[in-house]
Amino acid sequence: MSSELYAEEPATLPEEGKLAIEMAPYDFSLIQRGRLRGKVSLTLTIVVENQRDSEMIRQRLPQIRSDFLNGLTALSRQRFNVNRPIDPDIVTAFLMPYLNHRVGDGKAKVYVKHAQIKPGG
């Protein structure tokens, strides 16, 4: 068995023809109970539901990125485990309220493109 755990394919994929904004990868340490447990790498994609909202969403990407990083570090303390793959559905469900707060309900969706946990430091 490999020492790297990957997420399964996302349960839902973006619809064809919609604008997909691939975000820079999130790489951070998995710290639980004050101890370094591993390294997390996630790549997320934001899919814009209506083309007319794309410029507004692009302008808010720095705030969205910051919100997502705060959310992911909180989620990682509670739900990530170096012995199990990251569940993309949990990540999506956890991050959607952050995205809706920044851009408005129903204007975009977030998808997990890649998720990996490497045990150790």
Q: Is pLDDT of 39 > 80?
A: yes
Look at residue 18 in the predicted model and tell me its pLDDT. 85
- With a CB cutoff of 8 Å and minimum separation 6, the contacts of 40 are 26, 27, 28, 29, 30, 72, 76, 80, 86, 115, 116, 117
Report pLDDT digits (tens) over 4-30: 444 433 334 456 678 999 999 999 999
Q: What is the pTM of this model?
A: 0.82
Report pLDDT digits (tens) over 54-109: 999 999 999 999 999 999 999 999 999 999 999 999 999 999 999 999 999 999 99
Residues in the chain: 121
Q: Name which of 119, 99, 105, 120 is nearest 45 in CA terms.
A: 99
Look at residue 33 in the predicted model and tell me its pLDDT. 85
> Radius of gyration over alpha carbons of the chain, in Å?
15
